[in-house]
Structure 1
């Protein structure tokens, strides 16, 4: 592994793990952590080639991980701690959407008929979204807290969604999974802070990522029109996340930071 050359910055000398780091928000976070001094940036993704490409660009280490598989998550965290001896920052961005549900939303939009997703949503599609978005967050939080507790410090940032508050018609499984991420993260935050570990969440609105590129154009246009600011960039979300992971947010625990371009407030 190549050490990143930066020796100053908010994350100077720290060891970080980014799940879902092979693209989108996760890749932007990995790049920013490295640019701000992280000694080691570990990039984990189910798409190992993507993780390798991002890791190569930041002088980091790539890992293959399926966050829905607890053993896979434990193995990655164990590898990081075994190599570096510590783990200071964990950013969990891995997640999925449901292109089939988006296609049904588009069909309803084009036909003028009411959206009908729930009655067509099978158990497999429900479990896929839940197992990656919610179960995966549980696996990462548990492994990260286990690793950080002996050192008495650490920062964890999970990625929820503004869709948990302003639910999109026809997206019940995604909204439920992200609402679960918020509640889970906040509960863990109250427990983990006793060990010096801060847990916070960012709740994006629409973000211009590879996942968003799969959204049908008409649906994307409708989503974009709901706020004064259009789709956020992955780099803007990385700014939010790195703030929550930094000492500048030292008194921020259990927050859900809206980053949705003013679509709504809570």
Structure 2
């Protein structure tokens, strides 16, 4: 099962799992039409419209997988959101040569939207997947986090906080469920060429054009890391956070 599978990294992961011979890949996305479009190109793809912030809907979707296929072997949770309004404010500040001033303008709705989808949504998926995998005593969960946890971009406190919570929660769950044969790991991408990145203002995109490091990653490059973490080749990785930012910075 792959969330956020209607585009970007999620779609790339779904295609990769199908290419690896998965019996079935369930593509979940809040945009059901996009998920169906990707699923139609797969030999064993099935699409479902899913808002990860809706706990009951997440539980029902995973139960449907169990009812139909008897088990859930792999979950890759790639669904998430950024904040275009905050990005615009940051870009305007960069263009005018002044420090960004964003935090005092963030309202509760903006904060809750990012937390509800990024952090709450991750909890909903982790909980549902663990419930599904524990009876089988096996499973692999890969969560897409963010390198923003480490460099905490100025003017983006809600996004950085949501992803920091995702990393910490995933690691805490990883230490708990490895005793049940379930591995949980995190990919922390840097700038990646997805639809979300395409909506980033040009002034901010230009800031990532550093000739000393690799350019924007492709969705497929990040998907390859997720597929590795889901595979038996990563059997000894538990609670790992793999920073995939093209050498923009390192973290300990």
The TM-score with structure 2 as length reference comes to 0.98
For residue 61 of structure 1, give the secondary structure of its aligned residue in structure 2: strand
Matches within 5 A, 1:32-181: 32-59=16-43, 60-181=45-166
CA offset at residue 167 of structure 1? 1.1
Q: For the structure 1 residues 138 and 227, does the alpha-carbon distance in structure 2 shift closer, same or farther, using more than 3 Å as the test?
A: farther
Structure 1 residue aligned with 2:172 = 187
CA offset at residue 226 of structure 1? 8.3
CA offset at residue 227 of structure 1? 5.8
Q: Which runs of 5+ in 2 are unaligned?
A: none
Q: Do the aligned residues in 2 keep the contact of 1:55 with 1:62 (CA within 8 Å)?
A: yes
Structure-2 separation of matches of 1:237 and 1:26 = 10
Structure 2 residue aligned with 1:257 = 242
Structure 2 residue aligned with 1:7 = none
Q: For the structure 1 residues 224 and 72, does the alpha-carbon distance in structure 2 shift closer, same or farther, using more than 3 Å as the test?
A: farther
Structure-2 separation of matches of 1:142 and 1:129 = 19
Q: CA RMSD in A?
A: 0.9
Q: Do the aligned residues in 2 keep the contact of 1:226 with 1:263 (CA within 8 Å)?
A: no
CA offset at residue 23 of structure 1? 0.3
Of 222, 225, 233 in structure 1, the residue corresponding to residue 207 of structure 2 is 222
The TM-score with structure 1 as length reference comes to 0.93
Show CA shifts across 1:62-96 (max 9, x none): 00100011011111101111100000000000000
Show CA shifts across 1:1-37 (max 9, x none): xxxxxxxxxxxxxxxx000000000000000000011
For residue 156 of structure 1, give the secondary structure of its aligned residue in structure 2: strand
Structure-2 separation of matches of 1:65 and 1:202 = 22
Structure-2 separation of matches of 1:48 and 1:224 = 34
Q: Do the aligned residues in 2 keep the contact of 1:21 with 1:45 (CA within 8 Å)?
A: yes
Q: Which runs of 4+ in 1 moved over 6 A?
A: none
Q: Do the aligned residues in 2 keep the contact of 1:29 with 1:238 (CA within 8 Å)?
A: yes
Show CA shifts across 1:158-195 (max 9, x none): 01100000111111000000000000000000001010
CA offset at residue 112 of structure 1? 1.6
Structure-2 separation of matches of 1:114 and 1:226 = 24
Of 4, 7, 13 in structure 2, the residue corresponding to residue 29 of structure 1 is 13
For residue 164 of structure 1, give the secondary structure of its aligned residue in structure 2: helix
